[in-house]
Structure 1
Amino acid sequence: MGKLKNGILGGVSGKVGTVTCYCLNGQEIVRSNGKNNNPPTIKQLNNYQQMEVISEFFNGMKPILKAGFGHEAIGTIKNYHNLAIEYNKPNALKGYFPDVEIDYPKIVISAGHLSLAFNPTVEMVAEGLKFNWEVQHNIPQENTDRVMLLAYAPNSKDMSFNNSGAQRIEGCDILKIPSSMKNEPLEVYMSFVSDDRLSASNSQYLGLITVL
């Protein structure tokens, strides 16, 4: 049942006949209520599994995705999670139903126009993973950008991340890895986000590493 939010002249919220009305990011949205009693096709099953796989991967990454895609959602009816799915579902999956899986080197955890890390590397240290990058002195306007780091364990689906790490000008940062993730292969990513969270760089995949 739909409701008039502000009287007869106000907007409608809820289900009205064959459509559903709701407000998203300040805009009124109307969508049809589809009904299909036919069994799903293989193409549909593949799409369902793609959504399931990519959504499961991003589960628990809200701070990362909000920092990496939130700025892209400003002024649109989309949110950071929608955009993360849009970037990754067509490009970062491999296989076909029932064998869809993540293509880890192609995963994107942020997108934007800030400069990429120059010659980034990652190495094991006592505390976890040390990320290094060369400081570029010709982009002083980006000195205060914050590094964003992610290590994801495909086997256990555990993760460690920092969505607001060291400043770009510092040239390095350490991501602590809990004992539960040690001796396990980790897929590693980094990117930069501006201090005001209004812009970001494209993320970079730094490879597969095992912390002993």
Structure 2
Amino acid sequence: MARYKNGINGAISGKIGNVVGATCRGIAYLRSLPETTKGPTQKQINQRLKFALVMGWLKPLLNIINIGYQILTGDKTPMNRAVSYHLREAVTGDAPDYGLDFKKAIFSRGELLASWILEVLCLVNAVLRIKWGNGPASVFSNDSDKASFIIYNPAKEAFVTFTNAAARADRHAVLQLPEDFAGDVVHAWQHFVNVEGNAVSTSVYLGALMV
């Protein structure tokens, strides 16, 4: 607030633009109008809800995503890329009750070939067995590529990961899930990483499974 000495037109009274003239105890003052701030729009609130949902869900998989999205980074981090994809493709529902379409989740994206899944079985004692078939060996499908698996339990809101669980040439993997997963439905994904760790396959959704 500034003090104003009368000029040839006298003291200013009232608003001029973003300035208000006033007199207090015979002294004229000029003060600026307070800035008004608008709250977030509903669209912005909804986008924040979606972002919080996706970021919270992917955060436990940071190490896997750093490898799985490494070739797509550009000026963004692997996690930024993963979050952007899931915001566009995997969020379902209406505000504020958003959810995720697990079938559309992708935790790695790359040029290595995926194998075709032959069998996914839940055995006793929370054991999961996966069998797959491989195409002809090539630079994109090497017997030494390592199979990794991601298991998510919505009821427990918990991930279990198995990195380098088997070689591509093994054509199967046996995974021991936590005992308290028994009786729950879980969602599973598989992808491959080469031995150098600088190439991956796009992850494949294995389905919803009753443990």
**Which TM-score band applies after superposition, normalised by the shorter structure?**
0.7 to 0.9
Please show how residues 55-134 of structure 1 align to structure 2 within 5 Å: 55-73=55-73, 76-126=74-124, 128-134=127-133
Contact 2:116 2:134 in 1 (8 A): yes
Question: CA–CA distance in 1 between the matches of 2:105 and 2:186?
Answer: 14
Q: Flag structure 2 segments of 5+ consecutive residues without an equivalent.
A: 1-35
Partner Cα distance (1:37, 1:210) in 2: 51
Partner letter of residue 133 of structure 1?
W
Q: State the alpha-carbon separation in 2 of the partners of residues 139 and 110 from structure 1.
A: 20
Following superposition, the deviation at residue 156 of structure 1 comes to 1.5
Q: Distance in 1 between matches of 2:183 and 2:149?
A: 19
Which letter does structure 1 place at the counterpart of 2:103? Answer: P
Q: CA RMSD in A?
A: 1.8
Instruction: For 1:152 and 1:133, locate their aligned partners in 2 and report how far apart those are by CA, in whole Å.
Output: 20
CA distance in 2 between counterparts of 1:172 and 1:71 reads: 27
Residues 129-161 of structure 1, C-alpha deviations (whole Å, 9 max, x = no match): 111101323437522111110110112111211
Shift of 1:92: 0.8
TM superposition shift of 1:98: 0.6
Name the TM-score, length of structure 1 as normaliser.
Answer: 0.75
Q: CA deviation at 1:120?
A: 4.3
Matched, 1:207 2:207: yes
What is aligned with 1:52?
52
Query: Where is the strand percentage greater, Structure 1 or Structure 2?
Result: 2
Q: Is the 8 A contact 1:121 1:206 kept in 2?
A: no
Identity of paired residues, percent?
22
Calculate the TM-score normalised by the size of structure 2: 0.76
Distance 1:83 1:194 in 2: 21
- Residue in structure 1 matched with residue 153 of structure 2 by the alignment: 153
Structure 1: gaps spanning 5 or more residues: 1-35
**Residue 144 of structure 2 contacts residue 168 of structure 2 at CA under 8 Å; is this kept in 1?**
yes
